A = this chain, B = another copy of it.
Amino acid sequence: MESANDGAARLSEFGLINRYFAKHVSRARLGIGDDAALIDLPSDALLAVTTDTLNEGVHFLHGADPAKLGHKALAVNLSDLAAMGAVPRYALLALSMPVADPAWLEAFSAGFFALANRHNVELIGGDTTRGALSVTITAMGEVDSRALRRDGARPGDDIWVSGTLGGAALGLACLQGSVEVEPADRSAMIALLETPTPRVELGIALRGIASAAIDISDGLTGDLVHILDRSGVAAALDWTRVPQPAALSRLGDESRARQMALAGGDDYELLFTAAPERASEILSLGRSIGVPLARIGEIRGREDTARMLEIRGLTPAESGILQSHDHFRPY
C-alpha cells in the first residue's frame, strides 16, 4: 500500500503530537516527549485507570463535529473515573486517522482541552497513527480506599440516579431521522448525546456515602445489573420515578420513551446506591453541586425475591422488551 496523500504522510506522529497536543506539564514528573510519561502518587492514594474507544460508524457518525468528538472521547473516560469517585489527573490519547487534517486536529484538540482544562487533566502521552478514524483515551485519576466500586450494594440500600435518562437515545434518534421533535428539543437532546457532562464532582462527593456506583453508558437496567452481579443482590426499580427529560415525555410514544429511558445508554449519569439514612445528606449535596438526584428504587437480598430486577409500574411484557445498548453493535 502506498499513501495517496504525501503531505499528510510526512506529518509524523511526533509532528502531530507536538503541534496539537504537547502542553506544559505541571504535575507529572515527565510528560509527552519520552518513551513513557512518569507520574507519582501521594502515599495514601490509589490510581484509578480506565480506557474507552470511540470508532467512526459505531460510536459516532461519519463527519461528526471534531470538537464535540474531542469532548466526548474524554468525557466518557472521565465518567468512568467519576463512577469510582476519583479526581481526574492524567490522560493518554491514541488517535487513528485516515489523513492528518490540520483543521480537524485543531478543532478536535480544542474540544479535548476545553474539557481537560475544566478538570485539570494533563495529557501526558499518546500515539497518532494512520487508520480508520478511532479515538482511544486512557484516563487516570486519584482516589483512596473509599473508591466507589460496583460490589458494595447491600439489601435495603436506596438506588439513586443523577440527571435525566433517555435524552442521549432521543438525540441519536433525531440524528437518525427516526423521530420528529420540536427544534429546541432536537438540539438539546443531540447536545446530551454529543457533549455529555461527566459527573466528576458528584462522584468525588459521594466517597464515603455511596455503597456502590456505576456510570450509565449502556442503559439504566443493563448497568444496574452490573452492580447487582458484582454485589450479589437484587433490586426493585420504580419506573414512575425514573427522571426523564421533558422532550422524552413530549415524544408521545410511551413504549419508545420507556425503552430510551431504561435502556438507551450514552447518558453518562451516575447510578449509585446508599443506605436510606444517607438520603437527606445526598439530596443536600446534589443541591450544593447543582446536580438533580432521584431515588428510583431499592436493593433487595436475592433470597427475598424471585427476580433479580423487578420494575414496578410496568407489566412483565413491558419490562421484557428492554434490551441494553450494546457497544459491539454499529451506530
Query: Chain A interface (Cβ within 8 Å of chain B)?
Result: 1-3, 8-14, 16, 29-30, 33-41, 43, 45-53, 55-59, 80-81, 83-84, 86, 90, 92-94, 96, 100, 124-132, 134, 136, 138-141, 143, 147, 149-151, 213-215, 226, 230, 324, 326-331
A37 touching B49, Cβ below 8 Å? yes
Given known A124-B49, A149-B30, contact A132–B36 (CB-CB < 8 A): no
Measured in the bound complex, the distance between the Cα atoms of B150 and A284 in whole Å is 51
The contact of A96 among B53, B141, B143, by CB within 8 Å, is: B53
Q: Which residues of B contact A83 (CB under 8 A)?
A: 35-36
B131 touching A57, Cβ below 8 Å? yes
B49 touching A150, Cβ below 8 Å? no
Q: Which residues of B contact A141 (CB under 8 A)?
A: 36
Q: Which residues of B contact A48 (CB under 8 A)?
A: 36-38
A150 touching B9, Cβ below 8 Å? no
B47 touching A47, Cβ below 8 Å? yes
Shortest 3 CB-CB contacts between residues of A and residues of B: A55-B131, A132-B132, A36-B50
Closest CB in chain B relative to A177 CB, distance in Å: 13
Given known A129-B58, A230-B34, contact A45–B53 (CB-CB < 8 A): no
Measured in the bound complex, the distance between the Cα atoms of B324 and A9 in whole Å is 12
Closest CB in chain B relative to A280 CB, distance in Å: 26
Closest CB in chain B relative to A148 CB, distance in Å: 8
Closest CB in chain B relative to A331 CB, distance in Å: 6
The contact of A13 among B47, B215, B327, by CB within 8 Å, is: B327
Q: Which residues of B contact A149 (CB under 8 A)?
A: 30, 34
Across the interface, name the chain B residue whose C-beta is closest to A217. Answer: B35
